[in-house]
């Protein structure tokens, strides 16, 4: 399986190139929330989109879409163009777009409208805007994909699980091309208040760009972000027949569940995911030269993953944690991590983990810090873990 197209719109940039450039430069996309609604919250920082989707999409179309649908469509368009707009039988083209919360902004916003103004003021587009499968549906309509439009909803593992499902669809002979990724847009009071009450958020309101600090001794929680990332996956023979450029190979994937706790991470399930993905790819731990860590900047979560990586793969790979710059994009996080991993393999350079000023002495990994590092890896693992005990690991291979 090969990755032939990449698309993203994130707090670092409105497309893949600008996002990647910012990652390599160590720039942060996290800032203060200036809207009045944030003043009453204990957390007033977030990774907001660098480019507003309404500046890109047709105005009428944008009004009928939730923000998470808008960014999914933007990222999918870029990925499809990057892949050269493959000519494929519509019934052999599938879409898999994961999300953690779906149209949360629509749901909460329209509930406010209902309470304040009554049923007649509620938008007739409310249901298609709030439904979790909306992003996949819009992308399938855009591309004319008739091979299925699927929506994994597995919290912060959703985007990575979408790629794993896309891999399965092609292997099972149900598609030749799959557009897969993740999307999220829920920077609003209720989810932010909920995470704050759970003490999952960083409270560094006075220094937003330094708030997300994976693997740092002084990390105090994640920073919420928004955006989308999408890739085009193709059967290798299909891509070769049309002389398509391959950015990297998607060689294996594994999805596991902890069956342990609704929010707490569990090393055993993470280890099984990484080992399962490597076995699926037919590779060993020694083949891995890079790990894109889930690493959200929470005290317990980062340490659990560090121990899991050391057990499943070892301490030899270079490790990067790009949420230090983007914040945590929830359902889009695994897909954006996949895009960053593919680019790192293709370019032979790994972004540094920002804000790693005092490495946690309990983290026995080679975490890239300070500046981007040249690494010519044969294979890389990208992790994504989520509330509910969801674990997804992807194995990418370099194309030389």
SS3 208: helix
* Residues in a beta bridge with 207: none
| Residue whose entry in the numeric block shows the structure tokens 């709030």 | 130
Q: Do both 200 and 265 map to the same domain?
A: no
| Residue whose entry in the numeric block shows the structure tokens 């009045």 | 36
Q: Do both 326 and 354 map to the same domain?
A: yes
User: Could you tell me the CA-to-CA distances from 383 to 34, 153, 293, 341, 350 in Å, in that order?
Assistant: 32, 16, 5, 10, 15
Q: Do both 217 and 311 map to the same domain?
A: no
Torsion of CA 9, 227, 38, 123, to 10 degrees: 100
* Residues in a beta bridge with 350: 373
Q: Do both 206 and 312 map to the same domain?
A: no
Torsion of CA 36, 37, 42, 47, to 10 degrees: -90
Q: Residues 6 or more apart from 332 whose CB is under 8 A from it?
A: 71, 99, 158, 159, 181, 182, 183, 184, 226, 227, 228, 229
d(CA 374, CA 321): 16
Position 204 in a domain: yes
Task: Among 200, 222, 242, give the residue marking a domain's end.
Answer: 242
Q: Do both 217 and 287 map to the same domain?
A: no
Q: Do both 295 and 361 map to the same domain?
A: yes
CB distance 102 to 153 below 8 Å: yes
Domains in the chain, number: 2
Q: Do both 128 and 64 map to the same domain?
A: yes
Position 247 in a domain: no
What's 64's domain CATH number?
3.40.47.10
pLDDT of residue 400: 80
Active-site residue set: 156, 294, 328
State pLDDT tens for residues 25-57: 999 999 999 999 999 999 999 999 999 999 999
- Which pTM does this prediction carry? 0.97
Position 19 in a domain: yes
Position 357 in a domain: yes
Dig out the tokens for 150 from the structure.
């699927």
Q: Do both 231 and 264 map to the same domain?
A: no
Position 311 in a domain: yes
Task: Among 185, 211, 242, give the residue marking a domain's end.
Answer: 242
Q: Do both 379 and 309 map to the same domain?
A: yes
Q: Do both 55 and 193 map to the same domain?
A: yes
Q: Do both 206 and 261 map to the same domain?
A: no
71 CA to centre of own chain: 12
Task: Among 242, 260, 287, give the residue marking a domain's end.
Answer: 242
Q: Do both 105 and 216 map to the same domain?
A: yes
Position 235 in a domain: yes
State pLDDT tens for residues 290-312: 999 999 999 999 999 999 999 99
What string of pLDDT tens digits covers the 400 residues of the chain? 999 999 999 999 999 999 999 999 999 999 999 999 999 999 999 999 999 999 999 999 999 999 999 999 999 999 999 999 999 999 999 999 999 999 999 999 999 999 999 999 999 999 999 999 999 999 999 999 999 999 999 999 999 999 999 999 999 999 999 999 999 999 999 999 999 999 999 999 999 999 999 999 999 999 999 999 999 999 999 999 999 999 999 999 999 999 999 999 899 999 999 999 999 999 999 999 999 999 999 999 999 999 999 999 999 999 999 999 999 999 999 999 999 999 999 999 999 999 999 999 999 999 999 999 999 999 999 999 999 999 999 999 999 8
CA-angle at 78, arms to 75 and 82, nearest 5°: 140
E-state strands within the chain: 2-9, 30-32, 45-47, 93-99, 149-150, 177-184, 227-234, 248-257, 288-292, 318-320, 349-350, 366-367, 373-374, 379-386, 390-397
Domain residues for the domain of 305 are 252-398
State pLDDT tens for residues 138-195: 999 999 999 999 999 999 999 999 999 999 999 999 999 999 999 999 999 999 999 9
Angle, helix 104-117 to helix 67-82, in steps of 10 degrees = 150
């Amino acid at each position: 399986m090969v990755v032939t197209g990449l698309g993203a719109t994130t707090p670092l940039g409105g497309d893949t190139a600008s996002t990647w450039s910012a990652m390599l430069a160590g720039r942060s996309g996290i800032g203060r929330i200036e809207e009045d609604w944030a003043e009453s919250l204990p957390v007033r920082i977030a990774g907001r989109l660098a480019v507003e989707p309404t500046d890109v999409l047709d105005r009428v179309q944008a009004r009928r879409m939730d923000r998470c649908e808008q960014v999914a469509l933007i990222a999918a368009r870029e990925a499809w163009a990057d892949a050269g707009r493959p000519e494929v039988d519509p019934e052999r083209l599938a879409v898999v777009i994961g999300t953690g919360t779906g149209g949360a902004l629509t749901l909460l916003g329209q509930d406010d409208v209902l309470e304040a103004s009554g049923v007649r003021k509620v938008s007739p587009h409310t249901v298609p805007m709030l439904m979790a499968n909306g992003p996949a549906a819009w992308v399938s309509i855009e591309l004319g994909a008739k091979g299925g439009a699927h929506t994994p909803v597995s919290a912060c593992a959703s985007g990575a699980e979408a790629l794993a499902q896309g891999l399965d669809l092609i292997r099972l002979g149900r598609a030749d091309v799959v557009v897969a990724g993740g999307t999220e847009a829920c920077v609003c009071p209720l989810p932010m208040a909920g995470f704050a009450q759970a003490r999952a958020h960083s409270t560094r309101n006075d220094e937003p760009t330094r708030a997300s600090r994976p693997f740092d001794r002084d990390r105090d929680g994640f920073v919420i972000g928004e955006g989308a990332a999408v890739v085009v996956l193709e059967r290798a023979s299909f891509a070769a027949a049309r002389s398509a450029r391959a950015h990297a190979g998607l060689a294996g994937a594994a999805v596991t569940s902890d069956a342990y706790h609704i929010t707490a991470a569990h090393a055993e399930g993470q280890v099984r995911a990484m080992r399962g993905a490597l076995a699926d790819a037919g590779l060993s731990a020694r083949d891995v030269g890079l790990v894109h860590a889930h690493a959200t900047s929470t005290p317990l979560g980062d340490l659990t993953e560090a121990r899991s990586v050391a057990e499943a793969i070892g301490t030899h790979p270079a490790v990067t944690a790009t949420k230090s710059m983007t914040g945590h994009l929830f359902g889009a996080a695994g897909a954006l991590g996949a895009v960053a991993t593919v680019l790192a393999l293709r370019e032979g350079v790994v972004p540094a983990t920002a804000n790693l000023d005092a490495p946690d002495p309990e983290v026995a990994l080679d975490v890239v810090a300070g500046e981007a590092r040249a690494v010519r890896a044969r294979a890389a693992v990208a992790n994504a873990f989520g509330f509910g005990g969801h674990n997804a690991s992807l194995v990418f291979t370099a194309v030389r």
